[in-house]
Every structure is written in C-alpha cells, then in structure tokens.
Structure 1
Amino acid sequence: MQQPADGPAAAAPERDLVIDLARFFCLALVVVGHTMMVSPVLHPDGTVSTENTLGNQRWFEPVVWVLQVMPLFFVAGGVTGLYSWRRLRDRGGSAVEFVQGRLLRLIRPAAVLLAAMFTGLWAARLSGVDPQVIALLATGAGMPLWFLAAYLAAQLNLPWLAALHDRAPWSTLAGLVALVVAVDCLRGALPGLAHANMVFLWCAVQQLGFLVADGTLQGLSPPGLLGIIAAANLLLGVLVVLRLYSGNMLVNLNPPNLTLLLLAAAQAATLQLLRPLLSRLADLGRIRSVLARVGRRSMTVYLWHLPLLAAMSGLLLLTDLPQPAGGSAVWWWTRPLVLLGIVVLLLPVLAVFGRLEERPTAPGRSRPRPAVAVLTAAVVVFIPVADAALNGLTVGLLGGGAACFALAVLLLGRVPVRGAAGSPAGGSTASGPDGSGLPLPHPPLSANLEP
C-alpha cells in the first residue's frame, strides 16, 4: 500500500486490500454470530419470545472480548473514509459532496429494506399473524439500524475531523477521548446522556483509523505494537475488575463506552502487527476476487441478513417441524443449516438490490446539490434512525423511516463525477468491468468501493 509522502497535502493512496480483508472478516463474523444468537421460542399459550442463546452462555463473555469486531469496523471505516475524502478533495470536491455521497451510498439500500419490511409485516398482520409476533420480528430485524445511525454520525463528521487530524492528530483524538470519559462519568446521574457516545465514541475510533491510514502505526516495531495491545487489554481488565464497566462487550455496545475504544486500539495494533501476513493473503487471486464481489455488496449483506434470519425463524415456528430448545445439542447442530439458509436467501436479495450500493453518480455534467438540501436530507434520515436506535423499531416507524429515506434520496439527487482537474467529468467517465459506466479505482479492484 502506498503511503502519503509528507503530510496531508500528499495524494491519497488507492484502497488497502488489508482493510478490505478485515472488513470481510468482520462482516462474516457478524453474520455467523447472529445465527447463533437468534432463537425464537413458541410457548404453549401461543405467545412468542426470543432468546439470545449465544449471549446466555457463561463461556461466551471472555470469547466476545476477543471477537467483538464492531470497533474494527469503525477503524476500517476511518481508513477508507479518509482516503475517499482526500481523493475527492484533491479533485476539487467539497465536504458537502462528500456528505452527499456517503448519505446516498448508505441510505439507498436501507430505504428499500425498510419499505420491504414495512410491506411484509403489514401483509402478515392483515393475514392474521399475532401482533406480538410482528412486533418481535420488527424489533429483532431492526437491530442493524443502530450501526447505520452510528456509522452515519461518524462518516458525516469526517471532513472536519480530518481537518483537525491534519493540524493536530493527537490533540484531536485526546479531545474525543475526554468527551467519551466525561459522558461515561455522568451517565449514572444522567442516563440519557450515555447515548451521546454513539457519536463521541465512534468518532474517536474512526480517528484511530486515520492514524492507520497515515502510516503512524506502521512506524512502530512489533514490540511496540504488542505493547499497545497488552496495555489496552490490561487497562480494560482493570476497569472490569473494578466494576466500572461490564466485562460483557455486548452489554458495552449499546450505549457504547470507553471499553470499546480500548478494544479498538488493541484491534488496530493487531491489524498492523499482522499486516505482512494479511497482505500476502489478500493478494491471492481468488481472495481478491471474493473481496471485490462481496465487498461491493457489504452494506446490503449487513442490512438484510438479520431481517431474513428473523423472517425465516418466524416462518419455521408456523410449521410442524420440531423446534429444538435453544442451547441444546440439537440446536447447535442445526446452526450450519441456518447459516446456509441465510446465504441462500441473501443471493437473490444481492442480485436484485445489491446494485443500490454502487457509487451514485450522474451522467455528464451535473451541479453539486445545495448545502441546505444535503443538510436537510441528513436531518430527515437521522430522525427515524436515531428513534429506532434509542427506542426500538416498530411497524409504524418502518413506514415512516422508509418515507424519510425516500425523501432524503430525492433531496440528495446524484453525485456529480469530478475529473482530475476538479471539474465534472463530462461524458468521459471510465466504465467499470461490468459495463455499468461507474467510475472505479484503478486496477486491481478492491472491495467496498467508496465515493
């Protein structure tokens, strides 16, 4: 991977295959983990409840300390986001265009998901399905929306945080860490304030990604990286032993707290420590191909896998098939079949809706959208997303959210293509390998294409 030559003025490098591989690993782990968590239970009186089977295992708490990969997601997002912003800025793009592109790439697939869920659950309600079952499906299927809220908050703040990083990287990170600690200290007296760390915490983790992107960690020796990993985990262990925080990293996830920042530091250092091995692995032809294909549909996989899992589990309850008790030996043996079922269900979804993740560019010349339109779209999106993240998802909120997202897409329009000279690139946009006309990075292609 090429690194910037000297300081922020250097040209942004092409995508980092190691980061693409890390994202793929995180996404796969999340999908597999959810298949071992969701366990609906049909009671004799006809009511339905759900259990987090994996989360209820006593041995799982130390395991999730290692396998809680959400911090790594945001570190990777900081790397790719900073590269994308610098490339756009070097072509004469503005922060408004960056926000416009980020919003469109994230909310277009989400808008379709919300509309499909709203339609499906209302159809189920009209067909006589118990409202309790529908509410349970909506709540479970809406779990990924907290990530969308947090990721949008971090990415939409990226241009000005990147400017602060260029001027004073360590002071900017220290300021965000101080805000995280302050919120954690006050959350006992003001519980609602804890949700402010949905912004402060994940922006701080994103700043760690900036340090990775700038090559700061690459300047450290393996003993130095091991020192960061050991120190972060040691401090985390002390905080848990003192009972200042829970040792369960699922509990610490919502609302997030300082423990996830410490995990992020350890994971960023681990990623850098393993970079030589991961780089050789990611450079293998077949793996590069998988990263490119899956990565370009990663948000669709993330958004749809849990609703599909909830729907499949709910439908199975309506059949006469035996339902093994969650956590039993039979239940564990069925998990590979459940995972296979999710993969099979995802294939047509990816074929139909996956292209919504492609870079939303305009053919020919197009003016950037007014800043007020982009800002309004961001507010319109955040209202239902924040409501779902804080209070849970309902069928009514699904309908309202789909309408808000559709309105935001109309407000945002399409992102103009900028050429190297900083002007819209006329009709000379390079076509992708699929003939779509979409501008792509120079070969070799990498996953998770960013505007």
Structure 2
Amino acid sequence: MIHRDLAIDLVRFICLALVVVSHCMMVSPVLHADGTVTSENTLGNQRWFEPVIWIFMVMPLFFVTGGTTGLQSWLRLKARGGTGVEFVQARLLRLVRPAAALLAMMFVGLWAALLLGVDPQVTQLIATGAGMPLWFLAAYLAAQLNIPLLARFHARAPWLTLAALVTLVVAVDCLRGALPQLAYANLVFVWCSVQQLGFLMADGHFARLPRSWLVGLIAAANLLLGLVTGLGLYPGNMLVNLNPPNLCLFLLGVSQAAVLQLFRPGMNWISGVRWVRAVVSAAGRRAMTVYLWHLPLLAAMSGLLLLTDFPKPAAGTAAWWWARPLVLVGVIALLLPVIAVFGRLEERPTAAVHSRGRPAIAVVTAVVVVVIPVADAAFNGLTLALLGGGAACFALAVLLLGRIPERPPGQAASESGKGEGRALPAGPSSASVEP
C-alpha cells in the first residue's frame, strides 16, 4: 500500500500559491496617452527583486516534486502490469483536458469581446497573458512524458543519467550564442535533469545524506550559481534565466531539493495538521486548473479594468502596491467558480476493468497534436487564431486518448527486485501518486 507523501503535497501547494501571488505583483497593463496598451512586469523590473528571486524562483522545485511523484506513479503502474503507453496516456489526459477547456473558453470569449467592440489591443493583451502558462505546460509535458524512458536509465545508472543530462544542458548553453534557437532544447534537457533530482529523492538518496552534507550541498550549489553569474556567464536575474532555461535553473534545483530534504521533518509535522491536510488535499486535486486559469483571469480582469473609470495607479507607485492584495482577492474570487465548473476535468476518466488500452499510435499522435500548438505558443506567443487551433488540437487529443482502463491492485506484473519494476520504496519517499 502506497500512502501519499503529505510533505511533498504541501510543498507543491506552497509553490503554486507563490506563483499565483507573484503573478499578481507582476502583471501591469498600461494605457498610454496615444491609446496604445502595453504590459509591464513591474516586480521583475525592480533591481532589489533580483536577489529575492533566487529564493522564490520555485519552478525547479515544481519539477523536483514532479519527478518524485512521477517516478512513484510509474513504478506503481508497472507493478500492476501497466505500460509506458498507458502512463503517457494518463499523464497527457491530466494536463490536456483542463487546458482544452481553457483554450476553448478563451477563444469564444475573446471573439465575443471583439464583436462587442472591445479594442483589439486589449484582447491581444489578454491572449498574451494567457499564453504565459503554456511554456510551463510544454516543459512539464516534455519532462513527464519521458518518465518511463528516464526511469529505465535511472534504474541502471542514476548518476550517469543525471550527468549526461547536465552535460547536454551545458552544451546547449555553450552553443546558444551561435545558434539562438538551439537554446530552446533546454526546455527538455534542463527540466528533465531537474526531474532526475526528484527521482533521486524518491529513491532515498537525499534522505541518506547527513544534515551537514545537505547544508554543504546547498552552499556549494549557491556558490557555483554566484560564480557563473558573477563572471557574467549567465544573467543574475533568474526570470531571464527561465526562458529559455539554462544551467542556473538546475543549480537552483539542486539547492532546493537539498532544502526540501533538510526541512522535511518540519514539513511532515505541518502537513499532518488536520486543517492543513484538508486544504492541501483540496487544492492538489485542482492544481492544474488553478495554474492554467489564474493568469488568464488576471489578464482579463486587468484588461477589462482599462475600459472602465476605475482608479488605475501607475505601476510601481505606492498606491499600485497597496492595490495588490485587492487584485489577489479578485483573482481568487474569479477562480472559485472556474474551479467548480472545470475542476472535474482533472479527474481521470476510467473505463471498465476489462477494457483494452488505447493503441500506441493513437497516444503518439495525441502527443504530437498537443505539442505543436503548445510549442508555437511558448515560442511565438498566443494569438486568437492559435487559441482556436490549439483548442481544436487539444480536443482531438482528448478523443484520441479516450479512457484509461482501470487495473485492479491484484494485477501485478511478475518483476524482479531490480530495474524499473522494483518494489516501491517505503517510508516518506513514497510520494503522492498522481493519476
């Protein structure tokens, strides 16, 4: 019996909350005297924020915890006789179903706004803001869908696999000056390497390190990060390093994985509190809906406020900062009905036990159909036309993926005690198993 790792669930909840709060302090639409509309990243433009983002850049931690839960989910599926195709099918459905609804609703809503006479600049501002989460969806898909393959390499040679991925990261960083488009290959290499840290955590490698070694690992990762940024090899602003990602994000991931392990006893205690456990559990079941919808709702709210006489303090002023809590409350208020309506799309649609799984070609086609519009939006920005095309592609992918056959717990594959079919590790490393 595999129990949820409540500490990992709590960390994921904290990361999601920090992302929502930080975005509420970043998005700042500006209506200029000539009638043009632009968007500013107010928080990201503050010089004092550069050292702060070293601490609050939680995207690596998302992928560390995603690697932990992903490996556990894959091992459990393998133990029940599941295949890599079934794993990809389940992971893709979990991400694509809520995203398809978002793209379709945005396409309809923005077209309606245009027909009602809303300035096209405002609708484009909303579309651009909504496209920002899609880079994460592209990167998360690339990492999660590779889990069965990477788990096989990890089972045979965990440290060699990690070293190979980091080598690819560095190689791409070295060539990005001559081949700028090559830098986007690190959307795969960086986040897969950070995900491997989650594999190591799931296997108990971090748990076996003494506290002094964890502290040393944190210090070494941050010192190396300071060295490469201090020498000018990489920017000191982690928001710049995020898109496209580079070695700095991996070093942050090492530090954050060690911090997570260092404070795991405290996190275990906090996550054991009944009301905390209830909040984290409720939020965890709808995490993808919150992530996908919060920024489009924020962009829509900000864009529509431009059309009213509501006071709009200049970005960065004291009045603007004091208004941030109201903005956060507004986003949460808009999220609640969205979660109620669309949150169920995160639940796994299961078929009867005796049903056959989807053909591999259908799952592979669904992956291609999803990746094309997501990559286009991540690289070139989201447009109204791409919204419609993306919604159609995602809907097609959902049809191709179908339902997931339910496997009874007793249906276990006969696996040896080694390799990727090994028994699931016991104890706190048995992280929350996602659908």
Interval of TM-score (by shorter of Structure 1 and Structure 2) = over 0.9
Aligned partner of 2:279 in structure 1 is 290
Instruction: Find 1:208's aligned residue among 197, 203, 207.
Output: 197
Aligned partner of 1:132 in structure 2 is 121
Name the amino acid aligned to 2:93: L
In structure 2, what is the Cα distance between the partners aligned to 1:280 and 1:448? 16
Structure 1 residues 359-409: Cα deviation after superposition (integer angstroms, max 9, x where no partner): 221144311000000000000000000000111110000000000000000
Aligned partner of 2:109 in structure 1 is 120
Aligned 8 A contact 1:15 1:80 in 2: no
Corresponding residue SS for 1:218: coil
Aligned partner of 1:450 in structure 2 is 434
Structure 2 residue 6 is the aligned partner of structure 1 residue 17: yes
1:172-187 matches, cutoff 5 A: 172-187=161-176
In structure 2, what is the Cα distance between the partners aligned to 1:360 and 1:271? 33
Corresponding residue SS for 1:367: coil
Structure 1 residues 310-349: Cα deviation after superposition (integer angstroms, max 9, x where no partner): 0001111111111100110011011000000011000000
Aligned 8 A contact 1:40 1:314 in 2: yes
Aligned partner of 1:56 in structure 2 is 45
In structure 2, what is the Cα distance between the partners aligned to 1:14 and 1:264? 25
Corresponding residue SS for 1:40: strand
Tell me how far 1:55 sits from its aligned partner: 0.7
Aligned 8 A contact 1:292 1:448 in 2: no
In structure 2, what is the Cα distance between the partners aligned to 1:360 and 1:237? 46
Aligned partner of 1:332 in structure 2 is 321
In structure 1, what is the Cα distance between the partners aligned to 2:312 and 2:264? 44
Aligned 8 A contact 2:5 2:431 in 1: no
Aligned partner of 1:432 in structure 2 is none
Structure 2 residue 264 is the aligned partner of structure 1 residue 280: no
Give the TM-score taking structure 2 as reference length.
0.95
Structure 1 residues 420-441: Cα deviation after superposition (integer angstroms, max 9, x where no partner): 2338xxxxxxxxxxxxxxxxxx
Name the amino acid aligned to 1:313: S
Aligned partner of 1:6 in structure 2 is none
Structure 1 residues 84-107: Cα deviation after superposition (integer angstroms, max 9, x where no partner): 000000000000000000000000
Corresponding residue SS for 2:308: coil
Structure 1 residues 13-68: Cα deviation after superposition (integer angstroms, max 9, x where no partner): 43211110110000000000000000111112211111111011110000001110
In structure 1, what is the Cα distance between the partners aligned to 2:123 and 2:326? 24
Deviates more, 1:14-23 or 1:78-87: 14-23
In structure 1, what is the Cα distance between the partners aligned to 2:6 and 2:339? 22
In structure 1, what is the Cα distance between the partners aligned to 2:214 and 2:353? 47
Name the amino acid aligned to 2:130: A
Name the amino acid aligned to 1:130: D
In structure 2, what is the Cα distance between the partners aligned to 1:213 and 1:127? 53
Q: Cα 1:376–1:228, aligned 2, differ >3 Å: closer, same or farther?
A: same
Tell me how far 1:136 sits from its aligned partner: 1.6
Aligned 8 A contact 1:93 1:422 in 2: no
Q: Cα 1:447–1:343, aligned 2, differ >3 Å: closer, same or farther?
A: farther
CA-atom RMSD in angstroms: 1.4
Aligned 8 A contact 1:41 1:48 in 2: yes
In structure 2, what is the Cα distance between the partners aligned to 1:167 and 1:123? 54
Instruction: Find 2:62's aligned residue among 66, 69, 73.
Output: 73
Instruction: Find 1:96's aligned residue among 69, 85, 93.
Output: 85
Instruction: Find 1:403's aligned residue among 392, 398, 409.
Output: 392
1:223-234 matches, cutoff 5 A: 223-234=212-223
Name the amino acid aligned to 1:353: F
Corresponding residue SS for 1:171: helix
Higher relative contact order (Cα pairs below 8 Å, separated by 6+ residues)? 2
Give the TM-score taking structure 1 as reference length.
0.91
Structure 2 residue 323 is the aligned partner of structure 1 residue 323: no
Deviates more, 1:284-293 or 1:358-367: 358-367
Aligned 8 A contact 1:101 1:360 in 2: no
1:384-403 matches, cutoff 5 A: 384-403=373-392
Deviates more, 1:385-394 or 1:362-371: 362-371
In structure 2, what is the Cα distance between the partners aligned to 1:197 and 1:322? 42
Unaligned runs of 5+ in 2: 413-429
Aligned 8 A contact 2:73 2:433 in 1: no
In structure 1, what is the Cα distance between the partners aligned to 2:402 and 2:129? 32
In structure 2, what is the Cα distance between the partners aligned to 1:196 and 1:342? 33
In structure 2, what is the Cα distance between the partners aligned to 1:166 and 1:447? 17
Name the amino acid aligned to 1:184: D
Name the amino acid aligned to 1:160: L
Corresponding residue SS for 1:51: strand
Name the amino acid aligned to 2:89: Q
Tell me how far 1:449 sits from its aligned partner: 5.8
Structure 2 residue 150 is the aligned partner of structure 1 residue 150: no
In structure 1, what is the Cα distance between the partners aligned to 2:22 and 2:74? 32
Structure 2 residue 265 is the aligned partner of structure 1 residue 304: no
Instruction: Find 1:269's aligned residue among 231, 236, 258.
Output: 258
Aligned partner of 1:429 in structure 2 is none
Instruction: Find 2:358's aligned residue among 366, 369, 381.
Output: 369
Name the amino acid aligned to 2:220: A
Aligned partner of 2:33 in structure 1 is 44
Corresponding residue SS for 2:38: strand
